[in-house]
Amino acid sequence: MHQLSPSPIDLATALEQFEEKVPPPLQWRTWPAEPAAAAVVDPDGPLLKGQKASLTDRLVVSLGVGAVGGRAAVQLVRLGIGCQVVVDPDRFGDFSWKTQVCEPGHAGQVKAWVIGDMMHRVHPGTRIHAGFGMAQDVPLTLLRKADVLLAAGDNIEMLVWLGNVAAALGKPLLQGAVYGERLTAIVRAYDLRDAASACPGCALNSRAWGGLKARKGCDAARDIRNGEPTRTTPHLCSLAGDLLTGEALKWLDGREAQALKSEQLDYCMVNHKAYRTQLTRSEACRCPHERWQWQDLPTGVADAPLGEVVARALGAEARHNPLLQVRAEASWCAKARCWRCGRVSEVARFARPGTEVGRCACGQALRAAAAGAPSLVPAADLNVAFAKPLRDLGLDDGASLGLSEGNGWTYLALPGDPLTAGQR
- Diameter over CA atoms, the chain: 78
Residues β-bridged to residue 134: none
- The H or E element containing residue 386 is helix 382-387
Residue nearer to Zn ion on the CB measure, 197 or 245: 197
Give CA–CA dist 54/110, Å, rounded: 31
* Contact between 140 and Zn ion per CB under 5 A: no
Residue nearer to Zn ion on the CB measure, 174 or 202: 202
* Contact between 366 and Zn ion per CB under 5 A: no
- CA distance from start to end of the chain: 41
String marking each residue 198-237 x if it binds Zn ion according to CB under 5 A: -x-xx-----------------------------------
Nearest to 252 by CA among 62, 1, 69, 22: 62
Residue nearer to Zn ion on the CB measure, 11 or 379: 11
Applying CB under 5 A, among 301, 338, 393, 401 the residue interacting with Zn ion is: 338
Residue nearer to Zn ion on the CB measure, 165 or 199: 199
Instruction: Give me the least distance between CB of 407 and Zn ion, in Å please.
Output: 20
List the Cα angle 127/128/130 in 5-degree steps: 165
Interface segment toward Zn ion; rule CB under 5 A; list 177-185, 195-203, 235-243, 271-279: 195-203
- The H or E element containing residue 71 is helix 69-78
SS3 62: strand
Instruction: Give me the least distance between CB of 186 and Zn ion, in Å please.
Output: 18
Structural contact between residues 151 and 158, judged by C-beta atoms closer than 8 angstroms: yes
Cis peptide before 32 (omega within 30 of 0): yes
Site for Zn ion (CB under 5 A): how many residues? 12
Instruction: Give me the least distance between CB of 315 and Zn ion, in Å please.
Output: 32
SS3 392: helix
Applying CB under 5 A, among 195, 360, 403, 414 the residue interacting with Zn ion is: 360
* Contact between 72 and Zn ion per CB under 5 A: no
Applying CB under 5 A, among 160, 203, 240, 285 the residue interacting with Zn ion is: 285
Instruction: Give me the least distance between CB of 150 and Zn ion, in Å please.
Output: 19
* Contact between 362 and Zn ion per CB under 5 A: yes
Structural contact between residues 54 and 44, judged by C-beta atoms closer than 8 angstroms: yes
Give CA–CA dist 107/99, Å, rounded: 13
Applying CB under 5 A, among 364, 375, 383, 420 the residue interacting with Zn ion is: 364
Residue nearer to Zn ion on the CB measure, 287 or 390: 287
* Contact between 341 and Zn ion per CB under 5 A: yes
Interface segment toward Zn ion; rule CB under 5 A; list 192-200, 204-212, 296-304, 396-404: 192-200
Q: Tally the C-alpha atoms within 13 A of residue 71's C-alpha that lie toward its C-beta.
A: 23
Instruction: Give me the least distance between CB of 204 and Zn ion, in Å please.
Output: 8
3-state DSSP percent of the chain in helix, strand and coil, to 5: 35, 25, 40
List the Cα angle 123/127/132 in 5-degree steps: 105
Interface segment toward Zn ion; rule CB under 5 A; list 137-145, 321-329, 334-342, 396-404: 334-342
Residue nearer to Zn ion on the CB measure, 18 or 267: 18
Sequential DSSP letters for 113-133: HHHHHHHHHH-TTSEEEEEES
Handedness of CA 57, 58, 63, 66 (dihedral sign): negative
Residues of this chain that interact with Zn ion (CB under 5 A) are 199, 201-202, 285, 287, 338, 340-341, 343, 360, 362, 364
